[in-house]
Amino acid sequence: MASNDPDLSDPSGDPQPGDLIEIFRPAYQHWALYLGDGYIINLTPVDESPAAAMSSVKSVFSRKAVVRMQLLKEVVGSDSYRVNNKYDHNHTPLPISEIIQRSQVLIGQEVSYDLLGSNCEHFVTLLRYGEGVSEQATRAIGAISLVTAAASAFSVLGLINTRSRNRPF
């Protein structure tokens, strides 16, 4: 179902061919590209059925994915979605006919998947703009860097604290 949240709704209404679709899963956002007539193209894990694939958090940890054409309403299920062409302000979309042609060639193909470097958002932005972009991955990399830096700092502080307790004077 489309989102009723005014911050998430698409002011232009129904999706149009070539639009990016952001689907709100409980723990992450899944991305698809609207092809038309109710169909989208998206990535699903290789080892799961198309219906179960995108409702599973396992899709986030897969190393391979299959490009599938599916009905938007089936992929969304009980989650919400919105049209979100958020990169249009700094990336020029390819012509719609080229986006659709590039998409159709990939249906059924197995592709590499990496949460941080080649995820579903990278995939659909590559189709729309000719360049893979993922704000979600950038945020995740930033969070990982922050956690790593914090762990390193705590480790150094622990080492300093241990050394000062072991001194005889």
Average pLDDT, the chain: 78
pLDDT in tens, 50-103: 554 444 555 556 689 999 999 999 999 999 999 999 999 999 999 999 999 999
Residue type, 62: S
pLDDT tens digit sequence for 26-41 = 988 999 999 999 999 9
Distance of CA 148 to CAs 118, 143, 158, Å? 22, 9, 15
Per-residue pLDDT tens digits for 108-134: 999 988 865 679 999 999 999 999 888
Mark whether 30 is an active-site residue: yes
Residue 1 covered by a domain: no
Domain membership of residue 162 (yes or no) is: no
For residue 89, indicate whether it is catalytic. no
How many domains, in total, are found in the chain?
Answer: 1
Catalytic residue among 89, 91, 120, 122: 120
- Boundaries of domain holding 128: 19-139
Q: Is residue 24 part of a domain?
A: yes
Which one is predicted more confidently, 102 or 8?
Answer: 102
Selecting among 30, 89, 91, 122, the annotated active-site residue is 30
In terms of Cβ atoms closer than 10 Å to its own Cβ (0-12, 13-18, 19+), residue 132 is: middle
In the prediction, which pLDDT does 114 show?
81
Q: Is residue 77 part of a domain?
A: yes
Which residues fall within 8 angstroms of residue 64, CB to CB, at 6 or more apart? 45, 46, 110, 111, 112, 113
Give, in degrees to the nearest 5, the angle at Cα 125 between 119 and 126.
85
Q: What is the pTM of this model?
A: 0.71
| CATH label of the domain that carries residue 120 | 3.90.1720.10
pLDDT in the model for residue 135:
77
